[in-house]
Structure 1
């Protein structure tokens, strides 16, 4: 029995060492060049650079619709496409540039926040799906909403 175990162990060791071919011998130079070119193309992304990513609307009375236009520049090297944009709740509605934004050009994102039913301190986020490297960008709008019929003084 011990002899059988020794024979199996020796055969296994021989099998593994005989298949130990050098990995560098298997690399094809043409494939390596093609992979480098592919990776270089993948780095050619647009970049969405906002003039500001957060806007403070101050203090408003409940029921006011706050609007703010965010401007951005495509600082990347390929056209920027906004696939979708969505507010963190139904009270926050974005409208955006629908056409691709060429490198060096500007685009806009208009955000409307309906303060009805949203008293006190508010922070809303708009998530933007794009063709940038990260695939997602975000901007925020925040401020204080005074309940209807109360004096306009935010809690400190």
Structure 2
């Protein structure tokens, strides 16, 4: 009888202490710059929504290199609310773009990898080659 009461107590505590949890859902996990010219605007945005039932707190956003500067949102994001992470790539670097941005938060999946890709071309050549 004691075992049955103990099992019932543990089950009751388990049901009542289910923690609320934030969940981060991105519209897309990859931003494609396409082919852009050297010196172009390098700012792009990753939009997301907190689809969980607790406030989402983004604690850190890091890039895989110094040529990409991410900016995390300020403060917690309420359940159901949306926000964004701004990423600025240094478009003075000619060549392919393949970078990863790591987002750390209190979400059910605490680390998410976002990617940017594309190519920066030099602003040389004829007018016909640029169009």
Same fold (TM over 0.5): yes
Does 1 or 2 have the higher relative contact order (CA < 8 Å, sep 6+)?
2
User: Gaps spanning 5+ residues in structure 2: where?
Assistant: none
Equivalent in the alignment of 1:45? 21
The CA distance in 1 between the partners of 2:66 and 2:125, in whole Å, is 25
Alignment pair present for 1:82 and 2:58 = yes
Q: Which one has the largest radius of gyration?
A: 1
**Cα offset, 1:48, TM superposition:** 0.8
1:36-83 residue CA offsets vs partner (Å, 9 max, x unmatched): 433x22xx2111111222111111233445111221111111000000
In structure 2, the partner of 1:141 is 116
Give, in angstroms, the shift of residue 120 of structure 1.
2.2
Greater helix fraction, Structure 1 or Structure 2? 1
The corresponding residue for 2:6 is 28
Alignment RMSD, CA only?
2.5
Report the equivalent of 1:97.
73
- Return the TM-score normalized by structure 1: 0.69
Q: TM-score, normalised by structure 2?
A: 0.81
